[in-house]
Amino acid sequence: MGIGLALTTVIGRGAGLGVVAPPSGMALVPSGRYEPLFRGEKDPKEVTVEAFLLDVAPVSNADYLEFVKANPKWRRSEVKRLFADENYLKSWADDLDFGAANRTNAPVVHVSWFAAKAYCAWKGKRLPTTAEWEYAAAASPRRADGGKDTQFKQQILAWYAQPSVSNLPPVASRTPNYFGVHDLHGLVWEWVADFNTAMVTGDARGDTGLERKLFCGSGSEGTNDRENYPAYMRYAFRSSLKAAYTVHNLGFRGAKDL
């Protein structure tokens, strides 16, 4: 067991030595480039995302139930308001009951950033960064660079145009993307580790060090992709969040270094 783990680590880092199967439920997202939608005056156009492991599906109600069973302080009746607002696990029937059986594999929602972080730590994982998440989410079912896949872009736009359904379907019930990851689009929004690095605030003049022109009328001038509306929406959504917020269509998934 110990030797197996050590070997995995060594081979995982040696690019080209052969791909080791990622742990169950996770997909290996290979290293690549990510172009941030907004960036500072001195920031490069692209950042390199190192290869990492990502859960193939968002965390489900059943998964989360195991977590609260093992960690009473994260139960609905026990959680501290500092770490989750009053709507935490609102759709659950009780502390240890997520309600109807058809919710077993639905993504857990109404969870705060702190709760998501604590769940990931309990699993020996972490939340993905914005760069990692966006990079993985740029892949369509057919190619790593989904930005060139017109049909894929249209499908995402169609989802963003729909209001969220109250009965969320099970996770991983549709086609995975090029990396084998499900549901990055079309199910729920997801927490990222550095959600509070999205810099658009109510009064953007309060921010410093960003491209000034971002905050004038023609806001999209400073961005790299004026047509990527879903990315704008995710960016705006993240910048509106606070760490204790819980929302009916906001879940999360874990990530891990190789």
- Chain residues binding other proteins by CB under 8 A are 40-44, 73, 80-83, 113-114, 117, 193-199, 201-203, 205-210, 239, 242-244
Looking at beta carbons only, is 68 or 181 nearer to other proteins?
A: 68
Looking at beta carbons only, is 136 or 214 nearer to other proteins?
A: 214
- Give the number of other CB atoms < 10 A from CB of residue 121: 12
Q: At closest approach, how far in Å is the CB of 151 from other proteins?
A: 33
The angle formed by the CA atoms of residues 109, 112 and 113, to the nearest 5 degrees, is 120
189-190 vs 52-55, strand pairing mode: unpaired
Looking at beta carbons only, is 243 or 258 nearer to other proteins?
A: 243
CA dihedral sign, ordered 26, 62, 160, 216: negative
Alpha carbons 152 and 158: distance in angstroms, whole number:
10
List Cα–Cα distances, 5 to 2, 21, 104, 120, 122, in angstroms: 5, 12, 31, 20, 19
Bridge partners (DSSP) of residue 32 are 49
- Per this entry, what is the length of the chain? 258
Q: At closest approach, how far in Å is the CB of 72 from other proteins?
A: 11
List Cα–Cα distances, 27 to 22, 134, 255, in angstroms: 6, 15, 9
Q: At closest approach, how far in Å is the CB of 96 from other proteins?
A: 20
Q: At closest approach, how far in Å is the CB of 141 from other proteins?
A: 32
Looking at beta carbons only, is 207 or 225 nearer to other proteins?
A: 207
Q: At closest approach, how far in Å is the CB of 193 from other proteins?
A: 7
Looking at beta carbons only, is 126 or 248 nearer to other proteins?
A: 126
